[in-house]
Amino acid sequence: MKNRDQESSPLLQYTISTNPSPVNISSGNNTVTAQIIIQVGADQDVLCKYISIGVPVGDGSDDMYSVSPLATSSCDNPDWEISTDNIHGMTDENGSTKNFLYKHISDDMTVSTDVTFTINGTVNSESGTATIQINEYAMGINDDNYMKRQKSQDIAKAAEESFFLNSLVLEYLDTPGVPVTLIDKTRGVQLIWQSNGDYFKVYSGSGLDPVYKGSGKSYAMPEGLTSDLALIVEADKDGDVLYQEYVIKVSSPMLTVSTLEINESLVGSVGMFTSNQMFFQGWPASGYFTPTSDGFVTFQISASDLPFGGMIFVRLCLSETFGYTFTTFSSTQNSTQNSMTVPVQKGVPFWLVAGQVGENATYGFNASWIPLGQGTIQSGGSPEAIAKLKTFSEQLNKDIISYQRAQKQKATDFITALENAFDKTLKEEVKERLIEKYL
């Protein structure tokens, strides 16, 4: 709305507004009404006989209201009443202007109280700007004659903006305003959008409940993401709803598998990693086992009070020449531990052997079976196999003990050579720490 005061400025103060604001035009299936509200402030130094309000009516872009139904007016102050007096320049109508003339019926004509005039009408269907004219017939208390003064006001009207939801953009929380398409894992991000909706919901993945509800136009994920995620934004405006989907892509995402199709050892669709079965616990680790499906074996080994230079080991053997070995060594800490997961194949037996370097330590060991599907681990073997396992275990234990002792001696010799070269003697705890690092 643009103020267009004339050179002969009114003596009274006028505040002009509309309801609603901004003003929308009518359309074929939507008739729009609007009010023009003129608030006049009290002024004891002004005498006023008349105030007129001229509003353009018709079908043009510079007309405010339609001719039919004709606009009406009202006033909230009994000191003013609608009048049919003929006042030159205040009641002239040319067919395209509707004038509302109000007469001040106070005895002394002093504007001692506020007054509000309200014009009601049906907005026509053409976008544009309508100019209303306010005329007052007034004088100051020290003036000799009443005089007509005028004030003009532009009121814009336009087609109602269509309901929209668009421009979904992803950005990092630490670099707002910079769009990003492929995000880093675990880096905080937010999804922003543009809409003239009043209320929004955000749905995440396959969840049925919204992860965000409110009037804001953004959804923050401060912890970031580790895998791709689909989000759906819902916008609501006066009961109308719009949706937009946005798929967030993560650079090098972490893979989560729920089902796996296998056509060899397993047949059909099976749940993956649906169970975790412990099939051995104790020490020493030993036994002969056969899986009934493909899967994984996870070892966990721990030791307390392992002596200096000590070591414990477990080997999963798939043959006498091939297997997986993992170890844990002595540490400056009181306890030490290690773990390993290896794949195994359906029907292919494996056996466990274990050994240790060092006495008087407390050991813990367990082995768990993670099947692909519903497989199990069967223990036991032929007497020949068990006997062979025992012999193999004893020899492997001797070999590893010998190797570990040789490595410890090699580390000791190397540190002694350093002491001699620099003519320095290291403290025993320093030597032990260096040997531990070497081993």
> Would you list the domain boundaries of the chain?
2-158, 165-250, 259-422
pLDDT band at 367 (very low <50, low <70, confident <90, very high): confident
Q: Is there a contact between 126 and 59 (Cβ–Cβ < 8 Å)?
A: yes
What number of helices (H) and strands (E) belong to the chain? 2, 31
Residue 26 and residue 122 in contact, taking contact as beta carbons nearer than 8 Å: yes
**For residue 40, what are the contacts with CB-CB under 8 A and spacing of at least 6?**
12, 13, 14, 51, 111, 114, 115, 116, 117
Cβ atoms of residues 152 and 132 within 8 Å:
yes
User: What CATH number does the domain located at 165-250 have?
Assistant: 2.60.40.10
Q: Rounded mean pLDDT of the chain?
A: 81
Helix (H, G, I), strand (E, B) or coil at 32: coil
167 vs 117 pLDDT, higher one? 117
- Report the candidate in 362, 347, 349, 363 with the shortest Cα–Cα distance to residue 285: 363
Per-residue confidence band for 90, with pLDDT thresholds at 50, 70 and 90: confident
pLDDT value for 415: 77
Q: Which of 377, 371, 376, 378 lies closest to 274 in space, CA to CA?
A: 371
- Both tokens of 72, joined, read 């009406």
2-158: in CATH 2.60.40:
yes
More confident residue, 395 or 70: 70
Please tell me which residue, 367 or 310, carries the higher pLDDT value: 367
H or E stretch covering 350 = strand 350-357
Task: Return the structure tokens found at 409.
Answer: 């001696």
Between 357 and 158, the higher pLDDT residue: 158
Q: Is there a contact between 115 and 76 (Cβ–Cβ < 8 Å)? A: yes
Q: What percent of the chain has pLDDT over 70?
A: 75
pLDDT for residue 270 is more than 50: no
Quote the CA–CA distance of 47 and 110 in Å, as a whole number. Answer: 4
User: Can you tell me the distance from the alpha carbon of 202 to that of 219, in angstroms, rounded to the nearest whole number?
Assistant: 8
- How many other C-beta atoms lie within 10 A of the C-beta of residue 197? 21
β-pair partners for 157: 23, 128
Quote the CA–CA distance of 430 and 437 in Å, as a whole number.
11
Do residues 32 and 25 make contact, with C-beta atoms less than 8 angstroms apart? yes
CA distance 162 to 83: 42
Q: State residue 154's pLDDT score.
A: 95
With CA atoms as reference, report the closest residue to 203 among 224, 233, 229. 233
Q: Is the confidence at residue 264, as pLDDT, over 60? A: no
Q: The domain 259-422: what is its CATH number?
A: 2.60.120
What tens digit of pLDDT does each residue of 165-218 get?
Answer: 998 999 999 999 999 989 999 999 999 999 999 999 999 987 889 999 999 999
End-to-end CA distance of the chain: 84
pLDDT tier at 81, thresholds 50, 70, 90:
very high
- The tokens for 26 are 């009518």
Higher pLDDT, 411 or 235: 235
For 325-355, what is each residue's pLDDT tens digit?
767 655 545 556 677 788 888 888 887 777 7
Domains 2-158 and 259-422 share a fold: no
**Do residues 233 and 258 touch, judged by C-beta distance below 8 A?**
no
36/28 Cα distance (integer angstroms): 23
